[in-house]
Amino acid sequence: MKALRERILRDGKCFEGGILKVDNFINHQMDPILMKSMAVEFVRRFASTDINKVMTVEASGIAPAIMVGYLLELPVVFAKKKKPSTMENMLVTSVYSFTKDRSYDVCVSGDYLCKGDKVLFIDDFLANGNAAKGVIDLVRQAGAELVGMGFLIEKAFQHGGDYLRGQGIHVESLAIIESLDNCEIKIRE
């Protein structure tokens, strides 16, 4: 998606260790007009997909997911990174974070992720795919069906996308970063 590629090149900041910060328009300050445009692009790319629920993980996934849900007029469920004390019918999975070198729990209520749901998962980043694997596990536990996964930015050199596509999952990424070597952002055209 051209507008996103250009914005990443203009406002993205690259740090040692393959880190791309987009705090200016996605992860801390958000550009709602761009969010809506990206949501429209997801609607286009998943146009032939039968979806009845949008899912994401807090916190940075919420903005693009609510925009997709708004356009499709579908409920949006966000999985939580901390187990709430009062969640009913809780489904939990463990996700290993390479960046932080520790595992954390991601949970969702089986009241809102249900058997038979056709789930489109939306998130900001796809890197090594560990968070995505957690989502796959939650969807499986719920007896729901994962019909697609949409990411704003995929870091191709961390290979999570290879894994997900290898599993037969319909993955769409709006910008694909080929490399951040030498802190230079290379985006696939």
For the chain, how far is it from start to end, CA to CA, in angstroms?
A: 9
- 137 touches 115 (CB < 8 A): no
64 and 124 in contact (C-beta within 8 Å)? Answer: yes
Q: Is 98 near a copy of itself (CB under 8 A)?
A: no
When the beta carbons of 65 and 126 are compared against a copy of itself, the nearer one is: 65
Which of 24, 52, 128, 179 lies at the binding interface for a copy of itself (CB under 8 A)?
24
DSSP state of 141: H
d(CA 56, CA 79): 6
Q: By CB neighbour count within 10 A (0-12 exposed, 13-18 middle, 19+ buried), where does 141 fall?
A: middle
Least distance between a copy of itself and beta carbon 129 (Å): 22
Quick one: which of 9, 29, 50, 167 contacts a copy of itself (CB under 8 A)?
Answer: 29
Cβ atoms within 10 A of the Cβ of 14, count?
17
CB of 154 to a copy of itself, least distance (A): 21
Q: Could you tell me the smallest distance in angstroms from the CB atom of residue 84 to a copy of itself?
A: 8
Residue 42 binds to a copy of itself (criterion: CB under 8 A): no
Phi then psi for 113, rounded to 5 degrees? Answer: -115, 105
Question: Quick one: DSSP state of residue 80?
Answer: B
Closest CB to a copy of itself among residues 22, 164: 22
DSSP 81-120: SS--TT-SSEEEEEEEETTTTEEEEEEEETTTS-TT-EEE
Does 83 contact a copy of itself by CB under 8 A? no
Q: Shortest Cβ distance from residue 187 to a copy of itself (Å)?
A: 21
- Residue 86 as a binder of a copy of itself (CB under 8 A): the answer is yes
Determine if 28 is a binding residue for a copy of itself (CB under 8 A): yes
Q: Is 9 in the site for a copy of itself (CB under 8 A)?
A: no
Judged by the rule CB under 8 A, the positions of this chain that interact with a copy of itself are 15, 19, 21, 23-24, 28-33, 35-36, 58-59, 62-63, 66-67, 69-70, 73-78, 80, 86-87, 108-109, 111-112
